[in-house]
Amino acid sequence: MKSLLKTSWDLIDKAVEEMLNDHMRTWGWYDYFIVNDSTIIVKVFDEDDMVRFTIKAKLNGEKLEVVEVS
């Protein structure tokens, strides 16, 4: 992936799920917002639809790397 804006939704979903699985044991669901070609904001929810984390990540090759968690 060279650009989040030009990548298929399926590949972005796969990259987000790989990033979450690398850093978390469980999560309910997520939603994301693409900021620019290389930055994405991911809101992670639990099974009760409560926001647990907001993650800012940058694209690095084919993977997303966590920059900030709040």
Q: Which residues contact 9 (CB under 8 A, 6 or more apart)?
A: none
pTM, entire model: 0.89
Question: How far is 66 from 47, CA to CA, in rounded Å?
Answer: 22
Rounded to the nearest 10°, the torsion over CA 54, 63, 39, 48 is -20
pLDDT, tens digit (0-9, with 9 covering 90-100), for 31-54: 999 999 999 999 999 888 999 989
8: three-class secondary structure by DSSP: coil
Do 32 and 44 form a contact (C-beta atoms < 8 A)? no
Does the CA dihedral 53-59-61-62 come out positive or negative?
A: positive
Delimit the domains of the chain by residue range. 4-69
pLDDT, tens digit (0-9, with 9 covering 90-100), for 1-31: 789 999 999 999 999 999 999 887 778 899 9
